[in-house]
Copies of this chain bind each other. A is one copy, B any other.
Amino acid sequence: MIYWFDLLGTVVFALSGVLLAGKLRMDPFGVLVLGIVTAIGGGTIRDMILDNGPAFWVTDPTDLIAAAVTSMLAIVLVRQPRRLPKWVLPVLDAVGLAVFVGIGVNKSLAIDVGPMVAVCMGVLTGVGGGILRDVLAREVPMILHTEIYATACIAGGTVHVVLYHYLGVPLQTAMLIGVIITLGIRLTAIRWHLKLPTFTI
């Protein structure tokens, strides 16, 4: 199940990278680069921090290939992209986000880091690729201005860790519940434009 989840997250994140890239004047291979970075960037940063062997796609390039193929297909197939309804990019992003937070938490728990670090790794896996995408495309990173973005990740990741680490819920179940919570909060926030009160100086 995690395998398919992972592939789904990779595909939707690559798509979100390609769709954002469409706003810039990039050639197809530049788009390919941005799609791949978005899809595997978060997990790569996680693996560099955990220092537990090379980045996940070096030993098993499945996700790398999935991101590359998705990006190439998207470039070829997306012919009338202006017809895409406005909500598609945020919703794809929310699905990838939720799945990647869950995978990040799982991989961290597997190598026995503390609960707080596991939540951080989940958040990082979820938002890392999108942050790299936005920094490269010189957009304001979604995580900094979008409704309840980091909040959703922290909530889902925390539930995931607490269920597994303190309440003994099986890992798969804990992950599923965490993913649903992250996704639910993001989709709710997107649908009704919910915001926490912002912090301003």
| A-to-B contact residues, CB < 8 Å | 18-19, 21-34, 36, 44, 47-55, 57-58, 61, 64-65, 68, 75, 78, 81-82, 84, 113-114, 116-117, 120, 123, 127, 131, 135-138, 140-141, 143-145, 147-151, 154, 195-201
A61-B116 contact, Cβ under 8 Å, with A131-B136, A154-B29: yes
Of all chain B residues, the one with the shortest Cβ separation from A142 is B30
- Cα(A108)–Cα(B76), bound, Å: 30
Chain B residues in 8 Å Cβ range of A51:
47-48, 51, 53-55, 58
Chain A contact surface mostly: helix
Of all chain B residues, the one with the shortest Cβ separation from A48 is B48
Tally of this chain's copies: 3
- Cα(A140)–Cα(B150), bound, Å: 23
Of all chain B residues, the one with the shortest Cβ separation from A131 is B136
